[in-house]
Amino acid sequence: MSDELGCELCGDLPVLSVGEEVPDFEMETFEPSTGSFGEVSLANLKADGKWTILVFYPADFTFVCPTELADLAAQDAKLTELGAKVIGVSTDTKFAHLAWCREEKLMTDVKYTLAADTTGVVSSLFGVYDDATGLALRGTFIISPEGKLVSGTVNFYNVGRNMEELTRVMEANAHCAANPAEACPAQWTPGDKTLTPNEGMVGNVYEALNG
């Protein structure tokens, strides 16, 4: 973790809101694809033109968490094709990540980066750190290649996520980034009609979608 960000957060940096620029952060990682330790930083991902997807979860060696991360593994290839870097994040150490991937069969297909937010600084930045437990809630966040937070959802401990919806939201964000005049309606998937907001569409969205 960079000292700069740590100091900023010690100064009561407000929790991020969608639409805001995300300050740089760094975390130690375990890389299941290579079995090695490493680091990840938002600055490097931005320099590489990557979307960043942070999937916070409470803890290694728990119960709902491996089902979510296995579900995310099934979406990883699609998300990577969209130009995204997928990062699972908990407050566990990189050593715990390694041991969990080695022991839990549901983690067999997990090849994306697992980051160690051991201080809770990054979890706090995104508003998912639980002071009572020292764990992170089930938060999912998408950061644009320019470093803007474009999507964020949070579940409590006892409700797992549907990672297909994460892929759909990522697809919509990628489409809107490439077509900034357009907007994606509910349940939009690639190939569906989009909306191009203008004064003639006011009160006529049905016609725009069904014309």
Active site amino acids: 65
Token reading at 43:
């600055």
For tokens 């990577």, the residue is 80
CA distances for 162 relative to 63, 64, 133, 153, angstroms: 16, 12, 24, 12
For the chain (length 211 residues), average pLDDT per consecutive 10? 39 78 98 98 98 98 98 98 98 98 98 98 97 97 98 97 98 98 97 96 96 86
CA distances for 204 relative to 172, 198, 200, angstroms: 22, 10, 7
Domain architecture of the chain: domains with CATH: 3-167 (3.40.30.10), 179-211 (no CATH)
Q: Which pLDDT score, from 0 to 100, does residue 8 have?
A: 39
Q: Which pLDDT score, from 0 to 100, does residue 12 have?
A: 55
Q: Which pLDDT score, from 0 to 100, does residue 3 have?
A: 38
Model pTM? 0.92
Q: How many separate helices (H) and strands (E) can be counted in the chain?
A: 7, 9
